[in-house]
Amino acid sequence: MIPLHTLARLFLRLGLTAFGGPAAHIAMLHYEVVRRRMWMSDEEFAELIAITNLIPGPNSTEMALHVGRRMAGWPGFFVAGLSFILPAALMVTALAMMYVQYGRTPDVRAVMNGVVPVIIAVIAHATIALGRSQLTDVAGWMTAAAAAALAIAGVDELLLLVLAGLVAILPTRTPGWGLMLVSIPTLSAQAAAQSATAVSLSSLLLFFLKIGSVLFGSGYVLIAFLRADLVERLGWLTDQQLLDAVAVGQITPGPLFTTATFIGYLLRGAEGALAATVGIFLPAFVFVALTQWLLPFLRRSAIATRFLSGVIAASIGLMAGVAATLTRSSLTGALPIAGTLLALIVLLRWKVNSAWLVVGAGVLAWAGATFRASFGW
């Protein structure tokens, strides 16, 4: 058994330094627990990754929970998870406080506007990378394309994920058309059911509990859910505020899901930040705990594997849909479009850490605003 204080130090340090998204976080964790400390073998670590891919939620946080459980039992489970989440949540809360105080000043607004093209490029890059690695057959590509089209048309994202999984396990697989056929009749009923809801702490908590319970794939799928619900259906945020929240998630270490912390603070202050953070991460703790007993079933279930493949394909489609929608609504001139294309080329060609691109775009936007102000332009 590994001492709890040793686990806490490791995961606090990772929570303070783990930039670059889930893949980078998991690579850093692999180095620490397999290569450097030799707490487990490559095979054991790969098994934990496989389990993580079968459940919804933030993958890097779930890997921290798995490692903590393996190394120090249930106390290690909680110590590792909380130590990984806490630094990012506190940093994001501090940035949210400054954003609320200063976000409307010209210099800060110029910086946030400047990073929007890069954020859209980051989402597009993540969509492309996941598509290349996860969509290995025509069925997967058809499901992703159908999900993207239906998401743009207004079909509920959770419904799309569930239906994509169910269609994937049918004996005769027609995933793209099957997803279209079972989803389209829900459009009118869904539109009629949409209504604005007051931002109470309970509604905020329940909303993020729902998101944390159903989100498969990359953390960037989160953006599709947030935009569909918080911007379009409920009207709690604007597109600009959502992109600002994503930008803050990019420039801070730890899980991208702490974007929820930022949004919670915008909507209900410190209490909202706490409610959103608990809501988005609590399901991960529950699912990882449950998989300790479900693992034998998940290992041998072909149906679970096929269901997951459909859900992942639809998740990639949701990312593509939100990238297209944000491009249309947020890139309103030649310069922002050029900035997005340039950032996407850099990400595809040189694999630069997206956090550095976001910071760089913010610095350039601030310098440009300062220069214009100095010369009265």
DSSP string of 71-119? HHHHHHHHHHHHHHHHHHHHHHHHHHHHHHHHTTSHHHHHHHHHHHHHH
More confident position, 26 or 23: 26
What are the DSSP calls for 235-286, one per residue? -SS-HHHHHHHHHHHHHSSS-GGGHHHHHHHHHHHHHHHHHHHHHHHHHHHH
**pLDDT value at 189 more than 60:** no
Give the distance, in angstroms, between the CA of residue 237 and the centroid of all CA atoms in the same chain: 17
pLDDT band at 72 (very low <50, low <70, confident <90, very high): very high
For position 193, what pLDDT does the model report? 41
Helix (H) or strand (E) holding 362: helix 354-374
Q: Give 190's pLDDT tier (boundaries 50, 70, 90).
A: very low
Convert the pLDDT of each residue in 149-160 to its tens digit.
Answer: 888 887 877 788
pLDDT score of 284 more than 90: yes
Give the model's pLDDT for residue 255.
Answer: 85
Query: Would you call 40 helix, strand, or coil by DSSP?
Result: coil
Per the CB < 8 A criterion, the answer to whether 55 and 291 are in contact is yes
What is the rounded average pLDDT of the residues 50-56? 75
Q: Which residue has the tokens 């489970």?
A: 77
pLDDT band at 215; cut points 50, 70, 90:
confident
Question: 323 pLDDT exceeds 70?
Answer: yes
Q: Over the chain, what is the mean pLDDT? A: 83
Contacts of 230 (CB under 8 A, 6+ apart): 207, 236, 237, 242, 263
Name which residue leads in pLDDT, 193 or 60: 60
Q: Which residue has the higher pLDDT, 269 or 135?
A: 269
Is the pTM here over 0.85, yes or no? no
pLDDT above 60: residue 186:
no
For 252-274, the pLDDT digits (tens) are 888 888 999 999 999 999 999 99
More confident residue, 208 or 290: 208
The stretch 137-155 carries a mean pLDDT of 87
Mean pLDDT of 120-146: 85
Q: Which residue has the tokens 């050029």?
A: 338
Residue that the structure tokens 């994937």 belong to? 168
- Looking at the predicted structure, is the pLDDT value of residue 191 above 60? no
pLDDT at 247 over 80: yes
Q: Could you tell me the end-to-end alpha-carbon distance of the chain, in angstroms, rounded to an integer? A: 64
